[in-house]
Amino acid sequence: MKMTFIEPRAELKNHIKSIWVLESPIGMPSSAKSIAAPNGCAKIIINIENSIISNVDGKSQASKEHGSYFAGNRDIPVQISTPLRYTCFIGIEFYPHGAYPIFGIPMSEIANNLFPLDVLLEKYEKRFDEILRNLESIKDKIDFLQNCFINKLKHKQLNNPLVSFCVKTLRASNGLLEISELEKTTGYSKRYLEILLKNHTGFTPKSLASIFRFQKFYSGWAHGKTYSELKEELNNYYFDQAHFIKEFKRMTGFSAQQYTKEVPNEFGRQLALH
């Protein structure tokens, strides 16, 4: 499996975390246990070759070959597999607060869900997938998408500095910042911040904090830390080991010990390292 990362356009760098292209001559077999763990990012997936099967809580959903899909921000894992043949797809990951200013749709309405992309890009309606399919190169497809996003940003003007500040502050603290401190710093009530962030990111500040806290340890796994090494930092981030085990399993579907020893997930590793 090969993943190539592409720099987003300057106009989109505050909105898009990463753009990547995945290629695999044999697809993504179920034995590879390819898992997209929660990272606070909504995603767009463009299937170039092959279909993708997403399994969430035991329920499967197929994304068709040549189809374009929007995956809302998630706080539960998705296990991904494909038929065993050449596979290629484009992934675009938005910052937690990055998708709302582009699409203008409450992110709480699409959290933990997958939608055809043309539903959100109403200007192109059913022509959207057709336009993408007719563009020959991957570069042309990515350029087309970024031009769409930039045009939508110009028209909607939905950036919110308060949301950006809250998300960046929570992420910088690795999810350790108390929500009461966020209230004091911003001057807004917990209830108002919950409504605002759910609209822009899909989740409350508390839920985002739990994802960022988990990502601290998930990143450690991606960099090759063993379970024993990860345990050394637990006291600073979780009430106790039982709390950590529960949260890690909620985010990946596995206990931390099982995950670090038995789950290859090269797909998740490369995403976490970028």
Mean pLDDT score across all residues of the chain: 92
**119: pLDDT strictly greater than 80:** no
Q: Which residues pair with 97 in a beta bridge?
A: none
3-state secondary structure the chain: CEEEEECCCHHHCCCEEEEEEEEECCCCCHHHCEEECCCCCCEEEEEEECCEEEEECCEEEEECCCCEEEECCCCCCEEEECCCCCEEEEEEEECCCCCHHHHCCCHHHCCCCEEEHHHCCCCCCCHHHHHHHHCCCHHHHHHHHHHHHHHHHHHHCCCCHHHHHHHHHHHHCCCCCCHHHHHHHHCCCHHHHHHHHHHHHCCCHHHHHHHHHHHHHHHHHHCCCCHHHHHCCHHHCCCCHHHHHHHHHHHHCCCHHHHHHHCCCHHHHHHHHC
Domain holding 105, by residue range, is 2-156
Mean pLDDT on 26-48:
95
| Higher local confidence (pLDDT), 126 or 113 | 113
**pLDDT band, residue 101 (cuts 50/70/90):** very high
Backbone φ and ψ of 56, nearest 5°: -130, 120
For residues 147 and 201, state if they share a domain: no
The answer to whether residues 123 and 220 belong to one domain is: no
CATH number of the domain residue 256 falls in? 1.10.10
- Name the more confident of 123 and 24: 24
Q: Residue 128 belongs to a domain with what CATH number?
A: 2.60.120.10
Give the model confidence (pLDDT) of 159-186 as tens digits.
Answer: 999 999 999 999 999 999 999 999 999 9
Single out the residue in 156, 179, 205 at which a domain terminates: 156
Q: What is the pLDDT of residues 40-80, one digit of tens each?
A: 999 999 999 999 999 998 899 999 999 999 999 999 999 99
Taking the C-alpha atoms of residue 268 and residue 218, their distance in angstroms, rounded to an integer, is 9
Same domain, 70 and 172: no
Q: What is the pTM of this model?
A: 0.94
Question: pLDDT at position 123, please?
Answer: 54
Do 169 and 67 belong together in one domain? no
Q: Bridge-partner residues for 89, per DSSP?
A: 22, 47
Please tell me whether residues 128 and 166 are part of one structural domain.
Answer: no
Same domain? For 182 and 144 the reply is no
pLDDT at 154: 86
User: Dihedral angle at the C-alpha atoms of 46, 49, 50, 52, nearest 10 degrees?
Assistant: -20
Q: Which residue has the tokens 């006291």?
A: 235
Whole-angstrom distance, CA of residue 254 vs CA of residue 77: 10
Into how many domains does the chain fold? 2
Q: Which of 116, 136, 156 is the last residue of a domain?
A: 156
Chain mean position to CA 214: 14
Q: What is the pLDDT of residue 165?
A: 97
Q: How far apart are CA 7 and CA 19, in angstroms?
A: 7
> Does 83 share its domain with 196?
no
Query: Residue type for 19, please?
Result: I
Chain centroid to CA 181: 26
Same domain, 192 and 71: no
Say if residue 149 is in the same domain as residue 188: no
| Whether residue 174 is found in the same domain as residue 150 | no
Examine the fold and report which residue of 101, 135, 156 is the final residue of a domain before the chain moves on.
Answer: 156
Q: Residue 125 has what pLDDT?
A: 53
Q: Do 185 and 116 reside in the same domain of the chain?
A: no
Give the pLDDT mean for 82-93: 97
Left, alpha or beta for 22 (phi > 0: left; psi -120 to 50: alpha)? Answer: beta
Residue 85 has pLDDT above 70, yes or no: yes
169 lies in the same domain as 258: yes
